Amino acid sequence: MAVSPPRVLTIDDEDMIRETIAAYLENKGYAVLGACNGRVGLERFFAERPDLVLVDLRMPEMDGLEVLARIRDFSPDTPTIVVSGTGVLRDALESIRRGAWDYVTKPIQDMDILGLAVEKALERARLLRENKAYQENLESLVRERTAEVEETRRQIMQRLSRAAEFKDNETGRHVVRVGEISALIGRAVGLSPEECDRLRECAPLHDLGKIGIPDAILLKPGPLTPGEWEVMKRHCLFGCEILGPLGSLRDAHDWCSQPLQPTRCADHNPFLDLARTLALLHHERWDGRGYPFGLVGEDIPLEARIVAVVDVYDALRSTRAYKKAYSEEQSLENLRQGSGTRFDPHLVEVFFMHLDAIRAILDKWKDE
């Protein structure tokens, strides 16, 4: 396939100069366009989109400085070379300020000087294009790899939450509903879209620690003994440890055994940070009678308070091996009774304000 020669637009009001430059450049293999003043030159530039522009400074109707500025604003990657009179240093400086890539003085004693300037400008433009294409390709590859890593992370988190839920709910849809409703409540109380997305993905991991609870206790059809209840409460710590700092299990245990640890740990990741918080603190109560730490009121992170409300409501509405599902009326009454004691009263109020949207989520993700 034949390669088209570079196209050079020469803008000069002196016919002889335009013709001389055209003859020289055409002999070098360039395709040359001409314009007799700045206005016509600019029109040809927009119509033809040449590879390089040669422009005089002093011309009727529109001077070269205006042409340079217009080309720079529209197409800063197009190389421009000023070909103008000698002895005016400030013209050369102003030309560069307006976007000129080079300056060749007239009269041109040696046309090869102009030829070298054209070659250098076109080579620079080629390198800039290649570098830009390389950067765009590199950015595209980074975006693709980032998307792949993000999708892998999402799938791992979803499978972890499903593994925990399979212990006492074969469909695993409880955790999906908790994530969706928690994001809905989060949005209603002013969390950012990014925070709501994290809450949607991390809330399903709140009961991950159930993996460590014996089935004889987790699936027991009757009331738990005090000793069994103490074992059951340990699922909060287990969940945090599973998601906790990498290293020894002792390190994870120590990190999760203290209330209100700094959000970040050595392997900081905003999703893991939130998932640890929810696993550890979703059974804390507004009145301070929750576990594992007995935190009170707003000392409990907002996201954990949200999940506490949503988790209890959906668990009541769900059938388990050891219980039947509660009706909507019974489940809502449970929230009313727990407002201000078990639950953040403002969040309970927000929950009731969005019942229609919550019902839609329950219907979309209902258990099979």
- Same-domain status, 360 and 267: yes
CATH assignment at residue 241: 1.10.3210.10
Domain that holds residue 189: 166-364
The verdict on residue 263 lying in a domain is yes
pLDDT of residue 171: 47
- Same-domain status, 188 and 286: yes
- Same-domain status, 101 and 222: no
- Same-domain status, 115 and 182: no
The verdict on residue 46 lying in a domain is yes
pLDDT of residue 145: 80
| Per-residue pLDDT tens digits for 182-207 | 999 999 999 999 999 999 989 988 98
Is residue 210 annotated as part of the catalytic site, yes or no?
yes
* Number of domains comprising the chain: 2
- Same-domain status, 171 and 119: no
| Per-residue pLDDT tens digits for 28-86 | 999 999 999 999 999 999 999 999 999 998 888 888 889 999 998 888 889 999 988 75
**Confidence band (pLDDT; 50, 70, 90) for 165?**
low
Q: Which of 28, 106, 132, 210 is catalytic?
A: 210
- Same-domain status, 53 and 173: no
Is the confidence at residue 260, as pLDDT, over 70? no
Angle (deg, nearest 10), helices 235-243 and 226-233 = 20
Domain boundary among 134, 155, 175: 134
Is the confidence at residue 278, as pLDDT, over 90? yes
Mean pLDDT of the chain: 87
- Same-domain status, 105 and 180: no
- Higher per-residue pLDDT: 303 or 107: 303
The verdict on residue 341 lying in a domain is yes
| Per-residue pLDDT tens digits for 310-354 | 999 998 998 776 678 899 999 999 999 999 999 999 999 999 999
- Tokens in use for 63? 């001077």
- Same-domain status, 92 and 195: no
- Same-domain status, 115 and 208: no
The verdict on residue 73 lying in a domain is yes
- Same-domain status, 117 and 186: no
The verdict on residue 265 lying in a domain is yes
The verdict on residue 150 lying in a domain is no
User: Whole-angstrom Cα distance, residue 267 to residue 72?
Assistant: 47
The verdict on residue 148 lying in a domain is no
- Same-domain status, 121 and 270: no
CATH assignment at residue 39: 3.40.50.2300
- Same-domain status, 122 and 207: no
The verdict on residue 220 lying in a domain is yes
